[in-house]
Structure 1
Amino acid sequence: MSATSESVDIDEKQTRTSRRVGLGLVATAVVLAVVVRFAMFDHESSDYKIFVKGWYEFISTHGGFGALKYSFADYNVPYLYLIAALTYLPIPALTGIKIISVAFDLLLAYFTYRVVALRHTGRRLPALAALIVLFLPTVATNSGMWGQADSIYAAFGLGGVYFLLRRRPWLAGVFFGLSLAFKLQAVFLFPLLLVLALTKWIPWRVLLAVPGVVLLLDVPALLAGAPVGRLLSVYAEQTSTYTELSLLAPSIYQFLPASADAAVIRPIGIAGTGLVILGLCLGVLLSRVRLTTAKVVLMGAASAVLVPFLLPSMHERYFYLAEVLTVIAAFYLPRRLWYVPVLVQVASFLAYLNVLFPAADSTPPGDLPGGPSLPVPGGHSEPGEMSDGMPGDMPGWMSDQYAPTLEFRVLAALMAVAVVSVVWTAFREFRRGSPPGARKTPIHDALSTR
């Protein structure tokens, strides 16, 4: 008995040591990821110099949160709340804005860990998935170099997926609402919500939580004096800002000739995307298969990569959710999807480079000659003001810059392979009825035993 007891003690000590070593390695990797981002903090992108910096300065010089009553930015107010909070802190604007994005990178990695942990027992594979997402070139440069806010809506969106999988629909609705409140691109996951509502995975009334959260987050700006109409129309204004078929996104529109009539093709593209999504949703509904974690994750990944590929007027950053969800999907079905996040990452990151490091003879995307001017108190505008900090009519150089090129057609072809792969894999999984190697227990039964 004593020998057996000593053997058990040794095994327990080895297990504890192994866990400590593992946690140490993960912590070191996370610190390294943050250090890499801090090393890029000095870079000022054209988006920061022309837009975000101006928003910060306007808020800072017009009463902090009180400045939200003016129309000076084209982002929804929750992100402006964060910028307003920065103006009260002794932190440089550029540093503070990037710290916000980096913080949500960490939250994004956390939810990646949690979603993958629903598929794999133990900590190694979930931790590996989280670290891969944290070190994705697009994720690192989006926050550390570019200072964009994509990690915010993506982290909340992925949190919504996680709570869907845990069968906590109301909390999932809240997270999807938070995601939508920060960026309209959260709608790339809405086909997943539609399918789950149609299959009675979630109650229909849960969908009301999404706009409810968005409206609730408008209240502080409303109290500050912001017009109701402006708060409710911010996303409508965004969708009408650009009319190009593709804004350096590796999408299907890269295959069209530069002479293609955007005014004719845009509505066709929007309607066509809607029909494709509805058709796929109907296909899932008619399949009558029992949903599993793998199927829900696959639907999320398919939605996140398919919608921006088909919709017109997409920016290069709009595959951000797809970059993360294809990594997660690859951990669910590695034999079939291991290469998909590689394709998505290559296509997206090379598109990023064209914006972060534009050619010397080109105007950086988003950078207008002379830059925008901001509204002044009293409702009067300075000469050259652009509505909501954005251009009205696109100048001629803009169309030339966004014209399809051989390089972007290659990137779009890589993305097309990724789209077809994810959609085809999802189709096969729904035909099969259950993923290979998956537990046969339905997810709601499996989670009840956790």
Structure 2
Amino acid sequence: MKFEGIATYIMVSVLLYALFIFLMPQSSYHLDMLLWQKWTVHTFEYGLGNAYGSGTDYLPLYHYILYLFGKIQGSTAKIAFNIHWLKAITLVFHFISAWFVILFIRHKEDTLHKSIIYALFYLANIAILYNSIIWGQVDAILTCFVFTSCYFAFQKRIILCLVFFILALNFKLQAIIFLPLIALMVFPPMIQNFSLNRLLLWIGIPVGLQLLILLPFIVQGEVSSVWKVVANSVDHFPVVSMNAFNFWDLVLSGDLMRMPDSTTFIGISYKNWGLILFFTASFFALLPIFKKGIHSLRKKVNFKVGNQQFMLTAALIPLLFFFFNTQMHERYSHPAMIFLVVYALISMNWGIALLGCAAYFLNLEAVMHYLQLEDYSGFWIDRHFIATLFLGLILWLYVLLYRDAFRKNVVDN
């Protein structure tokens, strides 16, 4: 990769970053900003290892960022006054993700400059930026770690894949939904390239990183507090929906934010129905890659997954998680967007990414009302319509996934 191309990306990134900072509103989702401020002040006053004394429900890695931000500000007053600048840190991870988008879409016949131009569809995507710049949330950081881990899994660079997956898990437990996909991608090359030395590295480096992340909390005797956050991640909001416009909007009526997901249908709770649907749908999303892995191990041939198939599968997993499970927030489909965009850039099928980004943007705006439109009662902002968009998106992804898998089987036979 030529230095000129990397320099071009850095220059483009600096210019876009400056533009985004200039356009970035100080206002954000108020409750989230209050929490960021409370947690930052606490770590500033009592140290990183005592972060969980603030009552936080976030995993350790974000507290490193909050601790660093607090140290940079230097006082509790400046933390409170400048808390919206946390969005500038989140934006950095957005640009890191975009670099790996470029690496994914770059072909031998393409120049890096051309790939950078294509990547603007991700970099300047308002649906994706809404989460970071307008809402003030941090799903872009989770996406960065997950996407980077997936990139290295696709490249069969197992250690780097595991390192970034550990980072993702320590940022948000939500990353665990990608574990089956990553396992399917790295297990065949692990078996085919197995040695005791490699096994020690595959285990030792992730474990060492995990211990390093937990070290401040180990020193302060707060590891149990970290585990409590992990354990309480489930059923933190035991209702049908936390403003995710999904499957439940299509089958239930009423205020889903006040409807307990312990409510039963034919003896099974809504929560468990959601899990059943999610695991079943995920099985069929992962099945084509699973079959390829089995084939490569049985025939002792090179394990290879097409980039389009990989992107379709990786986009489906967070969408299915968001669409079928109860207790979902409106933001939880965010990690799917980067995979949709990369699929569009590879296949030139722009419709799939436009549909996904539109559904995600509308879900966020229907909740936050940042644009302050005169009328939020139109069909286009209705939760049932948006849920239908997500349903159509998921069905379209399955059609593309199995159409491509069927064509590949025909060619192989």
- Structure scoring higher RCO (CA < 8 A, sep ≥ 6) equals 1
For the structure 1 residues 201 and 314, does the alpha-carbon distance in structure 2 shift closer, same or farther, using more than 3 Å as the test? farther
**1:414 corresponding residue in structure 2:** 389
AA at the equivalent of 2:362: L
Which moved further from structure 2: 147-156 or 268-277? 268-277
Which moved further from structure 2: 236-245 or 207-216? 207-216
Structure 2 unaligned spans of 5+: 263-268, 297-303, 373-379
**2:229 corresponding residue in structure 1:** 234
Residue 312 of structure 2, aligned match among 298, 301, 315:
298
Secondary structure, counterpart of 1:67 in structure 2:
helix
Secondary structure, counterpart of 1:250 in structure 2:
coil
Residues 114-148 of structure 1 deviation map (CA, whole Å, 9 limit, x = unaligned): 11125863224421342211111133222222221
Residue 225 of structure 1, aligned match among 221, 225, 238:
221
**Superposed displacement of residue 26, structure 1:** 8.2
**Superposed displacement of residue 108, structure 1:** 1.3
**2:275 corresponding residue in structure 1:** 270
Number of residue pairs aligned between Structure 1 and Structure 2: 370
For the structure 1 residues 163 and 29, does the alpha-carbon distance in structure 2 shift closer, same or farther, using more than 3 Å as the test? closer
AA at the equivalent of 2:64: Y
**2:265 corresponding residue in structure 1:** none
**Superposed displacement of residue 190, structure 1:** 2.3
Q: Which has the larger radius of gyration?
A: 1
**2:300 corresponding residue in structure 1:** none
Instruction: Check the 8 A contact 2:242/2:329 in 1, yes or no.
Output: yes
1:116 aligns with 2:105: yes
Residues 364-422 of structure 1 deviation map (CA, whole Å, 9 limit, x = unaligned): xxxxxxxxxxxxxxxxxxxxxxxxxxxxxxxxxxxxxxxxx981111111111111112
**Superposed displacement of residue 309, structure 1:** 1.9
Residue 350 of structure 1, aligned match among 362, 378, 393:
362
**Superposed displacement of residue 328, structure 1:** 0.2
AA at the equivalent of 1:253: W
For the structure 1 residues 315 and 210, does the alpha-carbon distance in structure 2 shift closer, same or farther, using more than 3 Å as the test? farther
Residue 250 of structure 1, aligned match among 245, 249, 274:
245
Larger helix proportion, structure 1 or 2? 2
1:424 aligns with 2:399: yes
CA distance in 2, matches of 1:221, 1:435: 54
For the structure 1 residues 411 and 71, does the alpha-carbon distance in structure 2 shift closer, same or farther, using more than 3 Å as the test? same
Secondary structure, counterpart of 2:72 in structure 1:
coil
CA distance in 1, matches of 2:207, 2:273: 27
Secondary structure, counterpart of 2:333 in structure 1:
helix
Alignment of 1:350-389 (within 5 A): 350-357=362-369
For the structure 1 residues 211 and 255, does the alpha-carbon distance in structure 2 shift closer, same or farther, using more than 3 Å as the test? farther
Which moved further from structure 2: 79-88 or 117-126? 117-126
**2:375 corresponding residue in structure 1:** none
Residues 152-210 of structure 1 deviation map (CA, whole Å, 9 limit, x = unaligned): 11111111121122221111111111111111222232231233256x14459658966
**Superposed displacement of residue 299, structure 1:** 2.0
1:97 aligns with 2:80: no
CA distance in 2, matches of 1:37, 1:98: 9
Residue 317 of structure 1, aligned match among 331, 339, 356:
331
**2:346 corresponding residue in structure 1:** 332
Residue 39 of structure 1, aligned match among 7, 23, 38:
23
Instruction: Check the 8 A contact 2:309/2:404 in 1, yes or no.
Output: yes
Secondary structure, counterpart of 2:110 in structure 1:
coil
**1:194 corresponding residue in structure 2:** 183
Instruction: Check the 8 A contact 1:157/1:176 in 2, yes or no.
Output: yes
Which moved further from structure 2: 86-95 or 72-81? 86-95
Which moved further from structure 2: 203-212 or 238-247? 203-212
CA distance in 2, matches of 1:32, 1:406: 29
* RMSD between superposed Cα atoms in Å: 3.3
CA distance in 1, matches of 2:410, 2:24: 41
CA distance in 2, matches of 1:351, 1:425: 24
CA distance in 2, matches of 1:160, 1:30: 24
Instruction: Check the 8 A contact 2:154/2:185 in 1, yes or no.
Output: no
Instruction: Check the 8 A contact 2:40/2:70 in 1, yes or no.
Output: yes
For the structure 1 residues 306 and 119, does the alpha-carbon distance in structure 2 shift closer, same or farther, using more than 3 Å as the test? farther
Residue 56 of structure 2, aligned match among 73, 85, 93:
73
For the structure 1 residues 265 and 406, does the alpha-carbon distance in structure 2 shift closer, same or farther, using more than 3 Å as the test? farther
AA at the equivalent of 2:387: A
Q: TM-score, normalised by structure 2?
A: 0.79
**1:126 corresponding residue in structure 2:** 115
CA distance in 1, matches of 2:287, 2:139: 30
**1:57 corresponding residue in structure 2:** 41
**Superposed displacement of residue 297, structure 1:** 2.6
For the structure 1 residues 345 and 240, does the alpha-carbon distance in structure 2 shift closer, same or farther, using more than 3 Å as the test? same
- Identical-residue share of aligned pairs (%): 21
AA at the equivalent of 2:354: V
1:170 aligns with 2:159: yes
**Superposed displacement of residue 434, structure 1:** 7.8
Q: TM-score, normalised by structure 1?
A: 0.73
AA at the equivalent of 1:223: V
Residues 55-113 of structure 1 deviation map (CA, whole Å, 9 limit, x = unaligned): 122223x3332532525211111111111122111364414412210111111111111
CA distance in 1, matches of 2:206, 2:286: 20
Which moved further from structure 2: 85-94 or 245-254? 85-94
Instruction: Check the 8 A contact 1:180/1:214 in 2, yes or no.
Output: no
